[in-house]
């Protein structure tokens, strides 16, 4: 698997988290690409320490970083992994096997099926709003695209490089997650959703907010009629 899988990690000022996850991810792939959003921390040093490819993005956002990472990926099976430490590395092999052995084109992960820190026993009000907002967006998506997904926003996913390129994504921000799924559905790719347990990020804080959620609603509507 290590020789057939590429892992793309968009990152910005996540050196503390990368220092924890890169040694673990090296067990799954020898082609890890960290696409950095012009960080002002030690991201480049951490990548060099772990023998990981370091590339600067165009300072446009996560979607742009993903496309750059795919361009530099050596293998046709790609896993997108967040730099904040919230993804479960044990899911990487499952994603790989679904694509390599079961011939899936795109495999997305679901916190609704696997669990999330937002729904833990010490759930906060913000966590509740975040989880409810994701449910609402997923409901809209399913109604408009006639699908039955349980989580359209979780960023841990696996995809064939050839299929990703054919999607011709254009989103530069977090909206890339919805765009990938919407275009994959419209192109009738072979998609599967698997359970995944989301952990809380180790260091730092999320950049998602209510305004981003409102943008996602308009994005779903646009992608449906386009």
Segment-wise mean pLDDT, segments of 10 residues, the chain, 226 residues: 96 97 97 98 97 97 97 98 96 98 97 69 54 91 98 97 98 95 98 93 66 89 92
Within its chain, how far is the Cα of 26 from the centroid?
Answer: 18
Q: Does domain 5-225 bear CATH number 3.30.70.20? A: no
Residue with tokens 């790609």: 78
Please give the Cα distance from 166 to 133 (Å, whole number). Answer: 30
Q: Which residues contact 4 (CB under 8 A, 6 or more apart)?
A: 75, 77, 96, 100
Query: How is the chain split into domains, by residue range?
Result: 5-225
Taking CA atoms, 40 is separated from 30, 43, 168, in Å, by 26, 8, 30
CA distances from 122 to 16, 30, 90, 116, 139 (A): 25, 37, 24, 11, 26
> How high is the pLDDT of residue 118?
45
Nearest to 95 by CA among 34, 25, 36, 150: 25
For residue 128, the model assigns a pLDDT of 57
Q: Sign of dihedral through CA atoms 13, 28, 53, 172? A: negative
């Amino acid at each position: 698997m290590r020789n057939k899988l590429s892992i793309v990690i968009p990152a910005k000022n996540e050196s503390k988290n990368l220092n924890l996850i890169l040694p673990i991810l090296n067990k799954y792939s020898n082609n890890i690409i960290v696409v950095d959003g012009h960080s002002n921390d030690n991201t480049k040093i951490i990548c060099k320490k772990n023998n990981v490819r370091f590339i600067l993005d165009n300072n446009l956002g996560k979607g742009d970083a993903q496309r750059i990472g795919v361009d530099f990926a050596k293998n046709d099976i790609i896993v997108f992994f967040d730099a904040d430490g919230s993804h479960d590395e044990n899911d990487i092999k499952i994603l790989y096997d679904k694509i390599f052995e079961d011939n899936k084109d795109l495999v997305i992960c679901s916190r609704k099926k696997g669990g999330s820190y937002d729904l833990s026993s010490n759930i906060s009000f913000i966590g509740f709003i975040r989880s409810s907002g994701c449910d609402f967006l997923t409901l809209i998506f399913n109604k408009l695209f006639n699908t039955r997904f349980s989580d359209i926003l979780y960023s841990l996913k696996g995809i064939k490089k050839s299929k990703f390129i054919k999607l011709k994504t254009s989103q530069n921000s977090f909206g890339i997650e919805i765009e990938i799924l919407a275009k994959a559905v419209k192109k009738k790719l072979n998609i599967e959703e698997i359970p995944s347990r989301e952990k809380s990020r180790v260091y730092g804080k999320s950049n998602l907010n209510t305004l981003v959620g409102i943008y996602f609603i308009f994005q779903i509507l646009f992608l449906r009629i386009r």
